[in-house]
Structure 1
């Protein structure tokens, strides 16, 4: 956790640190509001920096500057200082190189916990169901474990149940932060800001992160086809081939190859075609 600037009065620094250590249920309404704003800013800034986001940089900077002093605000400021100085094309290139081409800094959280295994599909389904239970629809543009999606849900649903997916994937978040730090990416400030809102890592967390960094997530050689396409369907629904199908879902079989055995004698044709 980065220290607060020394220009901030000591009593303010003490209160901010105490607020960070507090459990979500102990936060004041103002702290919950500020926390939600931080999470929304993180969700926005971790999305692909398209032309719309690049054009909104002055507005984003103003929102960051309005945040009360905190470790998260300090990290956000460090990121936006870099973000506002870059050409849009450079931002897009850096984003793709950082998050799309490097597995260790992928933004899909269930990958770090379950890797490319069948358990990941169930984790995605569970996450999607928790969103629907809270009355929130993602719109289907991204998988439910994409970090910007998880952050937006946390901001909307609140520090308790809303932030539960973030706490569940804390080790993956720590691994992403380390990978971004090793790569020298300014996006490391956004992960540091997020982790500053969460309880400190335990010794077990740090050991698991070290093992994950050395060995990678779990893997298996079979059962990966259901994840193609990344879409989810409730049990009992029709699911086309190439879509993740939870237990109880009807999946049509693959079409059988046409038979090559001739039929004799052939049936006569009719004006309406073969019968």
Structure 2
């Protein structure tokens, strides 16, 4: 398992809807994943209703901040369906069954898969999508951009080197 497993698991939590369970885990998350402190501190100070409303505003499909990786990468619905089937196959190959209410290309699911298996293949394959999402979130002015900053800093660039932050 990569040394970044805690970061990936924490980032998965940060990118899910901020319910009561999310809020209860913030103190542990703050200590376990210092790379996520900017976002965690913001989330801890924000009133629950405002944080939830902000999540919906940011990740509403109208704003172009989709957390479904195949939307960034695969164009039409048929290609996205094929990609999602590949995600499922990879999960099964690692003896993990995807049973969530979300689709298998949902970024928090991919981050959790990576944390559990140490397999960076999906994050690396979709690195360009992650960079585009990160840029869009930063341009939108949301603290969620810092979560993507932390994840992308652990991944090799096109040259094969990790970014330094």
TM-score scaled to structure 1, two decimals? 0.55
1:59 aligns with 2:19: no
Structure number with the bigger relative contact order (C-alpha 8 A, sep ≥ 6) is 2
CA contact (8 A) 2:70 2:80 kept: yes
Aligned to 2:16: 47
User: Could you tell me how far apart the structure 1 residues matched to 2:51 and 2:124 are?
Assistant: 29
Aligned to 1:264: none
Aligned residue pair count:
159
Specify the SS of the correspondent of 2:45.
Answer: coil
Aligned to 1:157: 117
User: Could you tell me how far apart the structure 2 residues matched to 1:140 and 1:84 are?
Assistant: 26
CA contact (8 A) 1:107 1:146 kept: yes
In the TM superposition, what is the alpha-carbon distance from 1:149 to its structure 2 partner? 0.2
CA contact (8 A) 2:39 2:144 kept: yes
Specify the SS of the correspondent of 1:77.
Answer: helix
In structure 2, the CA distance between the partners of 1:85 and 1:201, relative to structure 1 (3 Å rule), is farther
Aligned to 1:188: 145
Aligned to 2:127: 170
Give the alignment partner of residue 56 of structure 2, picking from 91, 96, 99. 96
Q: Which is worse superposed, 54-63 or 88-97?
A: 54-63
Max Rg structure: 1
User: Could you tell me how far apart the structure 2 residues matched to 1:64 and 1:134 are?
Assistant: 25
| Aligned counterparts, 1:1-275, within 5 A | 32=2, 34-65=3-34, 73=35, 76-158=36-118, 162-201=119-158
In the TM superposition, what is the alpha-carbon distance from 1:129 to its structure 2 partner? 1.0
CA contact (8 A) 1:40 1:155 kept: yes
CA contact (8 A) 1:104 1:175 kept: no
Unaligned runs of at least 5 residues, structure 2: 160-165
- Give the superposed CA RMSD: 1.5
* Segments of 4+ moved more than 6 angstroms: none
In the TM superposition, what is the alpha-carbon distance from 1:104 to its structure 2 partner? 2.2
User: Could you tell me how far apart the structure 2 residues matched to 1:89 and 1:140 are?
Assistant: 24
TM-score scaled to structure 2, two decimals? 0.90
CA contact (8 A) 2:42 2:143 kept: yes
